[in-house]
Amino acid sequence: MRAHTFLNMFNLGLIKEVLIISILALVFGFFFNAVRPNPMELFVTVEINDSEQRNEKISVEKASALLESGMIIFLDLRSADNFHSAHIPGAFNFPFENIYEQLSELEKLLNNKNSVIIIYGSDLMDTKPDDLAELIGMMGYENIKIMTGGWASWVSKNFPVTTRQNSGE
């Protein structure tokens, strides 16, 4: 009984008319939008940059070939002691433990947002290169490569290294 009195408060005919007019307005709106020369987007698509796509994993062989081209920046994330013992020729040392304190120095080094940047850590299990690649990707750098296998793979392939003896350090 209570529901019946609630419905009696409204004119059911009026509710039906409003509902029919609303549905017709939606149908006509969609139709006219579809035939317009520049229709409005009904669903907005948002592109999300996936760091895995942006940060390409490359082999030590490919990294060695890029080193020979000379148009590359190597970032070594190992400790300063390990770096000074031996590193890839021309590499810059940015120990990951201090990376946030070194961001301004890193930005000066990476002054060209289109620079090819190869990041490496100690070995295959080292995830620090992925973390730094994501960080500098957020800073606007797009050509970031992560050398798989890191320093251990580089050395195992007998690629060139700079040591204290041959660098004069």
86: which strand partners?
A: 163
Q: Which residue has the higher pLDDT, 166 or 135?
A: 135
Model confidence pLDDT, tens digit, residues 92-124: 999 988 888 888 888 888 877 778 899 999 988
pLDDT-above-70 percentage for the chain: 83
Give the residue-averaged pLDDT of 6-10: 60
Q: Which pLDDT score, from 0 to 100, does residue 118 have?
A: 93
**40: Cβ contacts below 8 Å, ≥ 6 apart:** 33
Give yes or no for residue 8 having a pLDDT over 70.
Answer: no
Rounded Cα distance between 151 and 99, Å, is 18
Give the residue-averaged pLDDT of 35-42: 78
Q: Which residue has the higher pLDDT, 40 or 93?
A: 93
Q: How many CB atoms lie within 10 A of CB 69?
A: 8
Give the residue extent of every domain in the chain.
2-35, 51-167
Q: Which residue has the higher pLDDT, 15 or 159?
A: 159
Which CATH number is 51-167 given?
3.40.250.10
Rounded to a whole number, what is the distance in angstroms from the first to the last CA of the chain?
A: 95
Beta carbons of 74 and 120 less than 8 angstroms apart: yes
Q: Which pLDDT score, from 0 to 100, does residue 148 have?
A: 93
Strands 86-87 and 117-120: unpaired
80 sits in which H/E element? helix 80-85
Beta carbons of 89 and 162 less than 8 angstroms apart: yes
Q: Which pLDDT score, from 0 to 100, does residue 52 have?
A: 43
User: Please, which pLDDT band fits residue 138 given cuts at 50, 70 and 90?
Assistant: confident
Beta carbons of 154 and 147 less than 8 angstroms apart: yes
Give yes or no for residue 78 having a pLDDT over 80.
Answer: yes
Secondary structure E strands in 46-143: 55-58, 73-76, 86-87, 92-93, 117-120
145: which strand partners?
A: 56, 118
Residue 149: left (phi > 0), alpha (psi -120 to 50), or beta? left
**155: Cβ contacts below 8 Å, ≥ 6 apart:** 86, 161
